[in-house]
Amino acid sequence: MRHRHPANVTLVDQRDLGQRAADAVAGAIGSWRFICIQTTVIVIWITLNVTALAAHWDAYPFILLNLAFSTQAAYAAPLLQLSQNRQSEHDRQRAEADYATDAQALTAAKASLVVAEQVHALLVRQVIPALNPAAPAAGPSQQTAPLEDAQTEEGGPADE
Angle subtended by helix axes 63-122 and 17-29, to nearest 10: 110
The half-sphere exposure of 132 on its side-chain side, counting CA atoms within 13 A, is 10
Q: How far apart are the first and last CA of the chain?
A: 71
pLDDT in tens, 13-62: 677 888 788 888 888 888 899 999 999 999 998 888 888 766 778 888 89
pLDDT in tens, 98-112: 999 999 999 999 999
Distance CA(9)–CA(90), nearest Å, equals 10
Q: 128, exposed or middle or buried, with CB in 10 Å at 0-12, 13-18, 19+?
A: middle
Q: Is 1 within a domain? A: no
Q: Is 126 within a domain? A: yes
Q: Is 113 within a domain? A: yes
Q: Is 85 within a domain? A: yes
The pTM of this model reads: 0.52
Closest-CA residue to 89 (of 1, 143, 12, 31)? 12
Distance CA(100)–CA(44), nearest Å, equals 55
Q: Is 91 within a domain? A: yes
Written as one letter, the residue type at 134 is: A
How many domains does one find in the chain? Answer: 1
Q: Is 160 within a domain? A: no
Q: 100, exposed or middle or buried, with CB in 10 Å at 0-12, 13-18, 19+?
A: exposed
Q: Is 17 within a domain? A: yes
Distance CA(68)–CA(62), nearest Å, equals 10
What pLDDT is attached to residue 152? 47
Cite the DSSP H helix spans in 30-62: 32-51
Q: Is 23 within a domain? A: yes
**In terms of residue numbers, what domain contains 88?**
6-155
What pLDDT is attached to residue 130? 78
